[in-house]
Amino acid sequence: MANCTRREFLGTMAMAGIRPVEQASADWRDQGILHLERSPHARLKNVPVRAFTMAEGFWTSRRQVNVERSIPTLLELLEQHGVIDNFRRLSGRKQVPRRGPLYTDSDIYKWMEAVAFVLQSGDHPELRATFDRLTEEILAAQEPTGYLNTYYVEERRNLRFKEMHRGHELYCLGHLLQAAIAYYRATGSRRLLEGGIKFVNYLADNFGPTKDPLLAGHPCLEMALVELYRITGDRRHLDLAGYLLQGDGERLKLSPAQMVYLFSGKPFTSRMRLEGHAVRAMYACCGATDYYMETGQADYARTLETLWQDLVRGKMYITGGVGSRAQGEAFGDPYELPNRLAYTESCAAIGNMMWNWRLLAARGEARFADVLERALYNGVNSGMSLSGDLYCYRNPLELSGDPSDRIRNPWYDTTCCPPNLERILASLPGYFYGVSGEGLWVHLYHSGTLDWRLADGTRLRLIEQTRYPWEGRVELEVRPERPAEFTLFLRIPDWASGARLTVNGAAQAARAGEYAALRRTWQPGDRVVLDLPMAVRLTCANPLVAENTGKVAVERGPLVYCVEQLDHADVSIFELLLDPAAGFKEEFRPDLLGGVVMLKHRGRAWRTPLTQEPLYAPWPPPRRATRPVEVTLIPYYTFQNRGITAMRVWLPVAGS
């Protein structure tokens, strides 16, 4: 594009049959989670959240609880803990001391982003009014320069941008921008957005390679800036993101250890592995992928691939959770994936999902959607209770059941995870589809109606019926406004070997881990049926994962399962063995845990509890007798929704 004029460029696109993107994106209503219409290196464009009306099903009830329970109760708690008062005291509306850790501003911004995404799916006057009221509270605390932060004021004023390794000033701004952008896309209102832009421009004026040094500290602003650029087209916004990703840690005298922990301060493209604080690392990867989609820089593409391989080859839990170490909330070494000690912050799983969403957009490869779905259905999904008002900070793969082990809580002093979970649920319809010049992409499956258009402007409705993830059948009715030739890309999950696919009854190729590309002239009313195999699967881990030797995880469809002690009155779940010769009985239980497929299995248990054996003994160990026991498995995401009890994902296999 650098070598041709704008007019030439548009001409080229028209010749290639691609509609000039500006037209398509002129309206804020048409912008998705990511607005990629003008992003030259995005293979897939997003579909607006409002374009997919989700019908009854797995996510719909959770999304309803999110709006009816989670979002209102969290606002109350944010108020109670002074998060909004922190703004009011600056605008003089309240005389109170500042409260909470230095990053609390981001919590209300994230909550507002959740509200904005709710509004993208349909109006909600009360939430809209609350958003507007909060916007005024926030902007009233903004300084004339554009600076906005409730912590670095008064006696801490002279510390602004002086302790960026811990200050979270840019992190808060990043979340403000994300809220403002989501609200703009919900309502067309630029009120909060303009406030954010003012602060961004203040940064662009005062910081940069030839000005004062700036540090992300906690990455987040990078992706927000690229998204802002996608609205404003202001190159300074993209360049500031690039500057932050480049890292100015040397001028800031950051230590190597700090650059590891912060996942910022040195060139993103110099990274060889995921390390340091997991949420920081994931958000940095999000920003870098966004930056890549605008710039196409090859070194970014290489680094992103290196880091993604590092993730999936040794640093991701089977739940899609990441960041195994409590110390520094950090990535561990490759294969360092302890179950009970898993830190696996909800925000890190969300970061993983968001990153893979961006990689999917950039590349259009199913492997990214596989990771996204794994994280979404398991390690993200577990983070919010079925009641909607309790949240996990950690999402471990094993719990001792100790009464002190209260893993689901209504509030955390660092309450980043609750609003993060809320914004994901609210934005969820935006994750199901994509559009490219070739046609329409279906990434995830859920009943509902997509009402959108192809890249060439042809309107298209897609009516989907499924009981996924409880059942594997997905029925799609394709309704273009007129017969149209395009490809319908259907994702066949990597676990779905043996999937069957038909178009109007005629069998089609469907390979697990790929998008089935159905190219034809689609007639209104064409029917596609996908049958995903929902047999229970036993999965084992690489032996380099020290804790999982001789163990398996039980999976069914996209869901990882677990056992809880309260379903096992007569045996400790730490004494259980799965018997590979015995099958699994599946039963949909509408009354249980919001409605789940429960699994029953005729397993084994040690006849004499292992706790009666010594800690160390001469090798070889004694032959131990077992007895049959009934094992009950429930989806991992529902763990600890019936009280505090021991829980386990990885289970030993009898005879191994």
Binding site for a second copy (CB under 8 A): 257, 312-314, 316, 318, 325-327, 332-336, 338-341, 400, 402, 404, 537-547, 549-553, 574, 580, 610-611, 613-621, 652-653
CA distance 321 to 336: 13
144 vs 620 by CB, closer to a second copy: 620
| Nearest distance, CB of residue 564 and a second copy, angstroms | 17
C-alpha radius of gyration, the chain, whole number: 25
Whichever of 537 and 602 has its CB closer to a second copy, that residue is 537
- Cα–Cα dist 83/112, whole Å: 13
Please, what's the b/e burial string for 631-654 (b: 16 or more CB within 10 A of its CB; e: otherwise)? bbbbbbbbbbbeebbbbbbbbbbb
Which of 103, 261 has the CB closer to a second copy?
261
Least distance to a second copy, CB of residue 327, Å: 5
**Least distance from C-beta 632 to a second copy, angstroms?**
20
Residue 334 vs 594, nearer CB to a second copy? 334
> Cβ closer to a second copy: 455 or 553?
553
Q: How far is the CB of 557 from a second copy (least distance, A)?
A: 15
222 — phi, psi (to 5°)?
-55, -55
In angstroms, rounded to a whole number, what is the distance separating the alpha carbons of residues 223 and 225?
Answer: 5
Nearer to a second copy, 168 or 325 (CB): 325
Q: How many CA atoms lie within 13 A of 318 on its CB side?
A: 30
Give burial (CB, 10 Å; 0-12/13-18/19+) of 232.
middle
The residue (of 26 and 610) whose beta carbon lies closer to a second copy is: 610
537 with 554: CB under 8 angstroms?
Answer: yes
The single-letter DSSP state of residue 270 is G
Cβ at position 341, least distance to a second copy in Å: 7
Q: What is the separation of C-alpha 501 from the centre of its chain, rounded to a whole number of angstroms?
A: 28
Shortest distance, CB of residue 308 to a second copy, whole angstroms? 13
On the 0-12 / 13-18 / 19+ scale of CB atoms within 10 A, 336 is middle
Minimum distance, C-beta of residue 229 to a second copy, in the bound complex (Å): 35
175 versus 551: smaller Cβ distance to a second copy: 551
Rounded to the nearest whole angstrom, what is the least distance from the CB of residue 334 to a second copy in the complex? 8
Residue 316 CB, nearest distance to a second copy (Å)?
7
Provide the token pair at 544: 């380099």
Q: Quick one: 277 or 325, whose CB is closer to a second copy?
A: 325
**Going by C-beta distance under 8 Å and a sequence separation of 6 or more, which residues neighbour residue 403?**
644
Nearer Cβ to a second copy (179/560): 560
Q: What are phi and psi of 8, to 5 degrees?
A: -60, -40
CA dihedral 434, 439, 440, 442 (to 10 degrees): -90
Instruction: Supply the DSSP string of 471-509, one letter for each residue.
Output: S-EEEEEEEESS-EEEEEEEEE-TT-TT-EEEETTEEE-
Cα(282)–Cα(350) distance, integer angstroms: 9
Task: Provide, rounded to whole angstroms, the least separation between the CB of residue 496 and a second copy.
Answer: 12
